[in-house]
């Protein structure tokens, strides 16, 4: 088979964001776009000659074509082996697990996560390190640098590899192993949780609904929940991965998982509901008439971790991204374990997990995970909740009420303003940054500012510094407002406003978050001029 060298030119905008490179699918389909970026990855990671990689993704439109291109380019560069999920499918946590368990040199995940797919949707490519986690900024920086000077790429001329049949074939001298995407992951879950207890839970009549949102977790959830744990058929809905996610938006939040939310707030609500996103690393947890915010969810997991076999000896430490509420910190204080605050994005948890400083991590954006892999893990979080409910034998609503009584409640919400003109968004952040210094001691819409700063992170393991990670304003009564620009959007800019307020009065623990936060919301608008500058009357998405 021939290896050819193709002339190309650097393409602008190939800078990986919060989680890999995400663009409109049509951009990825433009001539040389994908090939240039893959070439940049190979250069950025110091070549792939003799290396073993993992390849898979959430099955979105163009994944099949992209997988074939990546295989031919891996072969052209002399990779020893590529382990591919059948039909190029692998959830993000399953890919992370395979990268680790097979001791590979890393992997490529094809996904734009919770963003819609299809020819008019989004596509994405992410490189993960040998530890199974998203490449840190030191590596993504090299990849971006390489993308700015690429003038040729090498690719093998060959027929498509059959990715539908399990087993080993080859492409030139590169071995291609097609593996069952679910098997190893399901095995790992059975080692973490008490599957006997979970089987007994379902056998006892416990009912749940898992919404796979037409995305990658369908086969995983069916195998684990229905086949291994005996949940009745039909527990998993929207369980067949489709290239355009059934024309849906595979983001597990109350807005995009409305079907599940309606069920859980209706007369026929089962005991428990959950959903996951496009690539299977996010989770939504909802009980009967009870939506659990992700920030609370990770706090509940930490507080109850010793009920789960893998964490029975306690947690080494916990970590949350900066915008995530401080509910987790309250639990860490009681557990007397380390608590770390990192910038947004899972790549910042990797060092803490590798160093054994943290065993549980979470983000407000429906991401929760532990040291079992190096990505957030949607189905793992769902099983964790089930394991806790099986042990504590109470409803989600009662569990939350009990948690807040014990630890206090951090009312929390995120308001997103999407597809805002990029110049307006940048100016808003720049202006606010400019006045942060003047805020302490002033009162904004009734909220007295205690301190304000721009978050920067010094990694305690490797000493690297990540600057400009979000603007924070803290109020004297334990409230907090955070502003940052999204690093995963593909249209204009997305402004995220994170709102938080502490409550320990037992009489005030059951309020609607938007009401409880109304003062903080007003202060956020007043201090930034957001509605006036953007001309928006309210956020596009509230989570």
Site membership for ligand VG1, residue 297 (CB under 6 A): no
Q: Which does 345 bind (CB under 5 to 8 A by kind): ligand VG1, Co ion, none?
A: ligand VG1
Q: Which is nearer to ligand VG1, 174 or 488 (CB)?
A: 488
Q: What is the largest distance, in Å, between two alpha-carbon atoms of the chain?
A: 73
Q: How far apart are CA 56 and CA 73, in angstroms?
A: 15
Q: How far apart are CA 13 and CA 497, in angstroms?
A: 25
Site membership for ligand VG1, residue 377 (CB under 6 A): no
Cβ at position 420, least distance to ligand VG1 in Å:
13
Q: How far apart are CA 521 and CA 230, in angstroms?
A: 45
Mark whether 325 is an active-site residue. Answer: no
Site membership for Co ion, residue 122 (CB under 5 A): no
- Site pattern 482..501 for ligand VG1 (x: CB under 6 A): ----xxx-------x-----
Ranges within 381-410 binding Co ion (CB under 5 A): none
Q: Compute φ and ψ for 185, nearest 5 degrees.
A: -65, -45
Residue that the structure tokens 């509901």 belong to: 273
Cβ at position 502, least distance to ligand VG1 in Å:
22
Q: Which does 226 bind (CB under 5 to 8 A by kind): ligand VG1, Co ion, none?
A: none
- DSSP assignment of 488-543 equals S-SSSEEEEEEEEEEE--GGGSS--HHHHTHHHHHHHHHHHTHHHHH--SS-SEE-
Q: How far apart are CA 467 and CA 113, in angstroms?
A: 25
How many other C-beta atoms lie within 10 A of the C-beta of residue 532? 10
Cβ at position 529, least distance to ligand VG1 in Å:
21
CB 140 within 8 A of CB 267: no
How many other C-beta atoms lie within 10 A of the C-beta of residue 518? 14
Site membership for ligand VG1, residue 19 (CB under 6 A): yes
Ranges within 112-131 binding ligand VG1 (CB under 6 A): 113-114
CB 155 within 8 A of CB 6: yes
Task: Please pick, among 63, 91, 111, 113, the residue that the annotation labels catalytic.
Answer: 113
Q: Which is nearer to ligand VG1, 226 or 281 (CB)?
A: 281
CA distances from 367 to 88, 93, 108, 414 (A): 23, 11, 20, 14
Q: Which does 326 bind (CB under 5 to 8 A by kind): ligand VG1, Co ion, none?
A: none
Q: How far apart are CA 25 and CA 30, in angstroms?
A: 9
Q: Kindly provide the residue ranges of all beta strands, DSSP E only, lying in 337-436, ordered along the sequence.
A: 338-342, 360-363, 367-370, 409-420
Binding residue for ligand VG1, selected from 362, 367, 513, 539, defined by CB under 6 A: 367
Region of 536 please: left (phi>0), alpha (psi -120 to 50) or beta.
Answer: beta
Site membership for ligand VG1, residue 18 (CB under 6 A): yes
Binding residue for Co ion, selected from 35, 211, 251, 279, defined by CB under 5 A: 279
Ranges within 78-117 binding Co ion (CB under 5 A): 113
Ranges within 122-181 binding ligand VG1 (CB under 6 A): none
Q: Which is nearer to ligand VG1, 294 or 513 (CB)?
A: 294
Cβ at position 115, least distance to ligand VG1 in Å:
7
Provide the annotated active-site residues: 113
Where do contacts with ligand VG1 occur on this chain (CB under 6 A)?
18-19, 113-114, 277, 281-282, 321, 344-346, 363, 365, 367, 486-488, 496
Where do contacts with Co ion occur on this chain (CB under 5 A)?
113, 277, 279, 281-282
């Amino acid at each position: 088979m021939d290896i050819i060298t193709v002339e190309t030119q650097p393409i602008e905008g190939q800078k990986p964001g919060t989680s890999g490179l995400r663009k409109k699918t049509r951009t990825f389909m433009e001539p040389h776009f994908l090939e240039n970026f893959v070439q940049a990855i190979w250069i950025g990671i110091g070549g792939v000659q003799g290396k073993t990689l993992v390849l898979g993704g959430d099955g979105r439109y163009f994944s099949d074509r992209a997988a074939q291109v990546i295989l031919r380019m891996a072969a052209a560069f002399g990779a020893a082996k590529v382990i591919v999920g059948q039909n190029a499918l692998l959830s993000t946590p399953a890919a992370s697990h395979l990268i680790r368990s097979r001791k590979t040199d890393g992997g490529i995940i094809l996904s734009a996560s919770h963003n819609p797919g299809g020819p008019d949707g989004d596509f994405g490519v992410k490189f993960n390190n040998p530890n199974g986690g998203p490449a840190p900024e030191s590596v993504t920086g090299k990849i971006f640098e390489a993308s700015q000077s690429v003038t040729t790429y090498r690719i093998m001329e060959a027929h498509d590899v059959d990715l539908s049949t399990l087993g080993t074939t080859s492409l030139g001298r590169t071995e291609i192993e097609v593996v069952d995407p679910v098997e190893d992951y399901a095995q790992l879950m059975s080692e973490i949780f008490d599957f006997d207890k979970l089987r007994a839970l379902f056998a006892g009549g416990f009912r749940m609904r898992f919404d796979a949102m037409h995305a990658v977790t369908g086969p995983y959830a069916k195998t684990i929940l229905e086949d291994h744990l005996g949940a009745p058929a039909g527990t998993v809905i929207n369980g067949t991965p489709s290239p355009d996610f059934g024309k849906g938006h595979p983001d597990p939040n109350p807005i995009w998982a409305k079907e599940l939310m309606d069920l859980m707030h209706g007369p026929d609500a089962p005991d428990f509901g959950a959903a996951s996103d496009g690539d299977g690393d996010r989770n939504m947890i909802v009980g009967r008439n009870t939506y659990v915010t992700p920030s609370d969810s990770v706090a509940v997991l930490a507080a109850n971790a010793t009920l789960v076999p893998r964490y029975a000896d306690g947690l080494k430490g916990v970590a949350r991204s900066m915008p995530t509420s401080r509910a987790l910190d309250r639990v860490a204080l009681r557990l007397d374990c380390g608590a770390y605050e990192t910038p947004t994005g899972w790549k910042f948890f990797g060092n803490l997990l590798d160093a054994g400083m943290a065993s549980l991590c979470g983000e407000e954006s429906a991401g929760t995970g532990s040291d079992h892999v190096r990505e957030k893990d949607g189905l793992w979080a769902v099983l964790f909740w089930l394991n806790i409910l099986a042990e504590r034998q109470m409803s989600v609503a009662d569990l939350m009420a009990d948690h807040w009584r014990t630890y206090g409640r951090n009312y929390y919400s995120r308001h997103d303003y999407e597809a805002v003109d990029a110049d307006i968004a940048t100016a808003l952040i720049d202006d606010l940054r400019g006045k942060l210094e003047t805020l302490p001691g002033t009162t904004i819409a009734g909220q007295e500012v205690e301190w304000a700063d721009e978050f920067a992170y010094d990694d305690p393991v490797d000493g690297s510094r990540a600057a400009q990670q979000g603007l924070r304003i803290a109020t004297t009564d334990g409230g907090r407002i955070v502003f940052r620009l999204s690093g995963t959007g593909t249209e204009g800019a997305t402004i995220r406003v994170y709102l938080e307020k502490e409550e320990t009065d037992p009489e005030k623990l059951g309020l609607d978050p938007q009401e409880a936060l109304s003062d903080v919301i007003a202060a956020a608008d007043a201090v930034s001029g957001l509605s006036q500058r953007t001309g928006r009357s309210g956020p596009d998405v509230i989570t």
